[in-house]
Amino acid sequence: MASCDVCVVRNRAICSALDSRELSALNAIGRTRMLEAGESLIWEGEDSVLVANVIDGVLKLSTNTEDGREQIVGVVYPSDFIGRPFGGTTGHGVTALTEAEVCVFSRRDFDAFAREHPALEHKLLERTLGELDRTRRWMLLLGRKSASEKMASFLVEMSERLTGSGCRVDPASPNRRILTLPFSRQQIADVLGLTIETVSRQFTRLRNEGVIDIPSRREVAILDFDGLVAEAG
């Protein structure tokens, strides 16, 4: 495993709570792993055997309905923590949407390390509470917001959470941002609880209103970020 000192998410991940000696000990029990788009890391319903920090890329959290349909229930980004520490079974699968790099730990080794390092446990609690807050906001989005508000909220969140090449801010115009979405139109529809036709109509409407442009199938140029935030409600 590469040194934590050169990790690009070092200051944003849960391990930011550790000093250099503690990082060396954590480094000794982990390993980096590369995932291809579409490759799964964790499977729904299985025993929790590993946890991981996302270093690069975007992954989806998904579950399946009784009739075999997939529902995307969350998305994780660089510096996010995935997996279920301290035992239990996993309630959702984790699959790479893009090429991804993750820092993987045996769940048992990580549990033992966390028990000996209260600062890391504190960071885990902070992350858990933050994820709970995002889940509550997502419940509001799915349950109460209109299709136009859902689409705008989705694009605002992508612009805030995608990093590096995923979201580029125009230095000449901070209100303009270029997103490279890791989602197909169908996946966006699944995430937002809409039909693919509704998603396409909302993209067209936002483009016609001058809020966004669509240079390619996977790129969205936000031309008026403040207007998009207002649209999100």
In this predicted structure, what is the pLDDT of residue 165? 59
CA distances from 163 to 12, 27, 69, 174, 199 (A): 12, 24, 30, 15, 24
In this predicted structure, what is the pLDDT of residue 198? 95
Instruction: Supply 121's token pair.
Output: 């446990």
In this predicted structure, what is the pLDDT of residue 52? 93
In this predicted structure, what is the pLDDT of residue 210? 93
Instruction: Supply 67's token pair.
Output: 């009739």
pTM: 0.79
HSE-up of residue 35 (Cα within 13 Å, Cβ side): 26
Strand partners, 96: 59
Amino acid found at 149: E
In this predicted structure, what is the pLDDT of residue 1? 47
Q: Report the CATH fold assignment for 4-141.
A: Jelly Rolls (2.60.120)
In this predicted structure, what is the pLDDT of residue 90? 86
pLDDT tens, per residue, the chain with 233 residues: 456 767 778 788 888 888 888 888 888 898 999 999 899 999 988 888 999 999 988 898 888 888 877 778 888 888 899 988 887 888 889 999 889 999 999 999 999 998 898 888 888 888 888 878 877 777 776 777 889 999 998 898 888 887 665 777 777 776 788 888 888 888 888 888 889 999 999 999 999 999 999 988 888 999 998 899 999 87
Same fold, 4-141 and 145-231: no
In this predicted structure, what is the pLDDT of residue 160? 82
Q: Domain map of the chain by residue range? A: 4-141, 145-231
In this predicted structure, what is the pLDDT of residue 27? 86
Contacts of 181-186 with C-beta under 8 Å, sequence gap 24+, read: 181/218, 181/219, 181/220, 182/57, 182/58, 182/97, 182/98, 182/218, 183/97
Q: Report the CATH fold assignment for 145-231.
A: Arc Repressor Mutant, subunit A (1.10.10)
In this predicted structure, what is the pLDDT of residue 15? 84
